[in-house]
Structure 1
Amino acid sequence: MSAAPAQNTIHRWRNAIRVGLLGALAAVLVFGGCGLLKPRPKPPERFEKVSPRKMPRGADDLGGDGLEKALEQSLVYLDRVGDFRPVHINERSVDKDLVRATLVHFLDRLRANRLDARTLAEEFDWYTPKAPPGDEGSPMLVTGYYEPILSARRRPDDRYRYPIYEPPPDLIRVALERFPAVKLDAGGVRSIVGRVEGRLLVPYYSRQEIDGGGALAGTASALAWLENAFDVFVLHVQGSGMLQFDDGLTQRVGYAASNGHPYVSVGKILIEEGVIPREEMSLQSLRRYFADHPERTAELLGRNPSYIFFRWVEEGPVGSLNVLLTPGRSVALDGDIYPKALVGFLEGTLPDPEAAEAGATRPMARWVVHQDSGGAIRGPHRLDLFCGTGPHAEQVAGRLKSPGRFYVVLKKDARPSN
């Protein structure tokens, strides 16, 4: 091919993408109405400031194990992140400097064995999300996730025919906050994902289009292949996993990107159908149902349009902040509401799979660190606790769905620790 036709092809692609992005922006402006260009009302305060007498008094049920490591990983994230978008905890704008000052001060007090009730009350401000209207109990729904260990193959065969895809080359992310004409609400959508079709940017393929319609066949590369569609679904929900190959090697995969579609809970669908009672819903009951009803697998999984793409990772598991997760300490929260990397205190209950009584639980009260995100973790009242790797972690994470309380702590001022 001569140089001139090649240059023309490049220009046509650039123009197509440019026009597509402009078209997407125009659509946001048109369908959003003139309200996007008007001043927005101040959003309501989502948090209640906690007085010293209402602070949690329970000791950390992990006895401090893993806490220092988790805090250090948050500082690693802050050291290398470039664009840290502040969020508001009521009147306080929580930027990178305040998160760092809080972590450094907290870590200093931890290492000096001075995290007593007086220090926590005098040197930190405490906030907890306000309960939803009509619910004055425990406002936080606490669930769990884990890192599965899955049998895999490097090439497809008659048994292993379900792919784990890396991000396809036509996947495009548009950062709306970089367009001055788009006025975004606090906590609103800040980016969209799509692909170029003709001269327009359109939504990326859904799960049904990818798995059922073969939309990525011949375009996206598969990192590995799994034995059944439910294992792929589990990997998508958990966001990372360890793959055991038939050559004896084990490799980790981690979250790389999503198709931008909203997450729809398959478990909730089965509850609404009356197939599995709400009180019996768990990852284990889902696994049993799909094993007993393979004819429904494609239909049910296809009703969740969200799709996750993966990458190889050397160490892990890693969360969305690209730092190592600590079992029992790392949590996923909504990053548009809660400051990334910040420390907080969590109260609730944990399943106890080792207890003789079925469905037994035990109290939980511990320091946790915001180091991950999740498609189902939206709003101020959702928290996902990382429970570890392998079968035991699955038993805990798969059954964890209980009310709890979560507290954010912020250093009272930005003066250096002493």
Structure 2
Amino acid sequence: MLQKYDQWRAAKTIARHSLRAMVAMLGALCVSACDSTVKSTTPAMVTPSQPATKSTELTSLGEQTLHPPDASVACVEREARVEIESIDVAALYPKRVLEQRMSFLAACASSRATPDASARADVVALMEIYTNAKTAEDFAEGVDDSFELIEYRPVGSPAAVDDGAPLGLMTGYATPIVTVRLQRDEKFRYPFFANLHTRSPQLALASRSELLASDEALTSVLAWIDSPLAWALVETNGTASLNIETVGLAGTESTAMTRVATNGKPWTSLGKGLASRGLIDAKTSTLRDVVRAAELNPDAALAAALENQRVVYFTECLAEDFPPAVGIPGAKLVAGYSCAADQSIYPPGSILIVVARAHDPAKPRRARLVFVHDAGGAIVGPHHVDAYSGEGTAALTRAGDMREAVDIYRLRLRD
């Protein structure tokens, strides 16, 4: 019996090394795609009579100011204490539903464009397993044979620990659809700034209050919005689909914008500002609670929005590029599969398995497969991921209700 077991393990090891060789070859074929760049024009919000054009700013979405100030968290990595077999990987098999299959393939395509060789090899291998799998069980077995779970812990950090693993958090975000105007008026008076790092470098690191008081900065506004809540939501989520309203004209024109940089100041969320005023519970509140409190207390919402000194800079984005990934030139976010994570720890394009803390000990643990396609000002350290839910009101609601205790592991090819 032991001899048969050793033969079986040896066969698996040979297969694993063969897979790594094939992955290296396929990964090399992907490198050229990662070197592509987008042709540019000077970024400017279009008027209804102007066609949108691509911007070089979309090629620099790894710009450091998009990441949290002092975001580099020194971590140690180790093989996770849990086994892949304890996770319900078969439930992650994406061939069951056409929409899920298409989203999975789109997410893999985005990750394959990563400049990080390790993450690219991982996704090429996952695609090979997916292609060859005939059943969910085949998929789970392929993942178990080829990958290991890696966990990260901050060096010297007294992180909260349960059963030997740090407590993680999964939240959600989405792309709002909002109405804006290109000219300021009494109602539409909250600005979305263009990239001041290129337009007015001497003002690029100024605070929100300083920019709002600067006549020069206000000449670089892409659009104006009428609600402090929507203003904060767009800056928080980093992308927006815009309906451009023009006074005196019926209907609207549509476009989109995405963040390209920030002023580098610390981020203070609208929810935190409302919580400090006793309007919501800081620990248990969801987006629904924030929206309700902001609508009932507009003056408090405006004051809370103004307290956030971190300003996000935007550029217009064509539909074919929208919504763009961070750290992967030319890639796009995919609802249900993309996530924001700390890219100083998890390379852009890497694969994460997010495992629910709450589970029945008698059953495999429920999990979610996500790809690191984004970063954010509030996503710091290895124990927080922000899952992308898509575009529109329903997606925002789903994202706002998402707050779950999880364990977060990188899915990485075995050596």
Q: Does 1:241 align with 2:210?
A: no
Contact 2:119 2:347 in 1 (8 A): yes
Matches within 5 A, 1:118-157: 118-130=141-153, 133-136=159-162, 139-157=167-185
Contact 1:255 1:320 in 2 (8 A): no
* Offset at residue 51 of structure 1 (A): 5.2
Residues 284 and 216 (structure 1), Cα distance of their counterparts in 2 relative to 1, 3 Å cut: farther
Contact 1:206 1:259 in 2 (8 A): yes
Q: Does 1:294 align with 2:333?
A: no
Residues 412 and 308 (structure 1), Cα distance of their counterparts in 2 relative to 1, 3 Å cut: same
Deviates more, 1:368-377 or 1:50-59: 50-59
Partner of 1:282: 286
Residues 268 and 75 (structure 1), Cα distance of their counterparts in 2 relative to 1, 3 Å cut: same
Partner of 1:223: 222
User: Take 2:107 and 2:131, find their aligned partners in 1: how far apart are those partners?
Assistant: 13
User: Take 2:402 and 2:80, find their aligned partners in 1: how far apart are those partners?
Assistant: 28
Secondary structure at 1:393's aligned position in 2?
helix
Aligned length: 314
Residues 216 and 348 (structure 1), Cα distance of their counterparts in 2 relative to 1, 3 Å cut: farther
Partner of 2:355: 347
Matches within 5 A, 1:94-105: 96-105=116-125
User: Take 2:308 and 2:197, find their aligned partners in 1: how far apart are those partners?
Assistant: 23
Give the letter aligned to residue 240 of structure 2. G
User: Take 2:142 and 2:199, find their aligned partners in 1: how far apart are those partners?
Assistant: 49
* Offset at residue 263 of structure 1 (A): 1.2
Contact 1:61 1:365 in 2 (8 A): no
* Offset at residue 220 of structure 1 (A): 4.2
Residues 136 and 46 (structure 1), Cα distance of their counterparts in 2 relative to 1, 3 Å cut: farther
Q: Give 1 or 2: higher helix fraction.
A: 2
User: Take 2:300 and 2:150, find their aligned partners in 1: how far apart are those partners?
Assistant: 44
Q: Does 1:106 align with 2:126?
A: yes
Deviates more, 1:389-398 or 1:52-61: 52-61
User: Take 1:335 and 1:210, find their aligned partners in 2: how far apart are those partners?
Assistant: 29
Any idea what the Cα deviations from partners look like across 1:187-241, whole Å, max 9, x if unmatched?
xxxxxxxx549xxxxx811122223xx2354564221111122211110000001
Residues 67 and 402 (structure 1), Cα distance of their counterparts in 2 relative to 1, 3 Å cut: same
Contact 2:192 2:222 in 1 (8 A): yes
* Offset at residue 337 of structure 1 (A): 0.9
Give the letter aligned to residue 241 of structure 1. A
Return the match for 1:303 from 298, 301, 307.
Answer: 307
Partner of 1:71: 108
Contact 1:331 1:386 in 2 (8 A): yes
Residues 116 and 245 (structure 1), Cα distance of their counterparts in 2 relative to 1, 3 Å cut: same
Give the letter aligned to residue 113 of structure 1. A
* Offset at residue 52 of structure 1 (A): 3.4
User: Take 1:53 and 1:256, find their aligned partners in 2: how far apart are those partners?
Assistant: 37
Give the letter aligned to residue 121 of structure 1. D
User: Take 1:136 and 1:171, find their aligned partners in 2: how far apart are those partners?
Assistant: 49
Residues 165 and 112 (structure 1), Cα distance of their counterparts in 2 relative to 1, 3 Å cut: same
**Structure 2: gaps spanning 5 or more residues:** 1-72, 246-250, 359-364
Secondary structure at 2:92's aligned position in 1?
coil
User: Take 1:271 and 1:400, find their aligned partners in 2: how far apart are those partners?
Assistant: 19
Give the letter aligned to residue 206 of structure 2. Y
Secondary structure at 1:405's aligned position in 2?
strand
Partner of 1:22: none
Partner of 1:401: 403
Contact 1:207 1:304 in 2 (8 A): yes
* Offset at residue 128 of structure 1 (A): 2.6
Any idea what the Cα deviations from partners look like across 1:234-284, whole Å, max 9, x if unmatched?
100000010012343210101111000121233234335433124551222
Residues 149 and 44 (structure 1), Cα distance of their counterparts in 2 relative to 1, 3 Å cut: closer
Matches within 5 A, 1:32-51: 45-50=76-81
User: Take 1:396 and 1:265, find their aligned partners in 2: how far apart are those partners?
Assistant: 19
Residues 269 and 155 (structure 1), Cα distance of their counterparts in 2 relative to 1, 3 Å cut: closer
Partner of 1:86: none
Secondary structure at 1:249's aligned position in 2?
strand
User: Take 1:367 and 1:307, find their aligned partners in 2: how far apart are those partners?
Assistant: 31
Residues 206 and 55 (structure 1), Cα distance of their counterparts in 2 relative to 1, 3 Å cut: farther
Partner of 2:209: 208
Partner of 1:117: 140
Q: CA RMSD in A?
A: 2.9
User: Take 1:269 and 1:158, find their aligned partners in 2: how far apart are those partners?
Assistant: 24
Any idea what the Cα deviations from partners look like across 1:50-78, whole Å, max 9, x if unmatched?
45366422412865531111011121343
Residues 148 and 118 (structure 1), Cα distance of their counterparts in 2 relative to 1, 3 Å cut: same
Residues 270 and 231 (structure 1), Cα distance of their counterparts in 2 relative to 1, 3 Å cut: closer
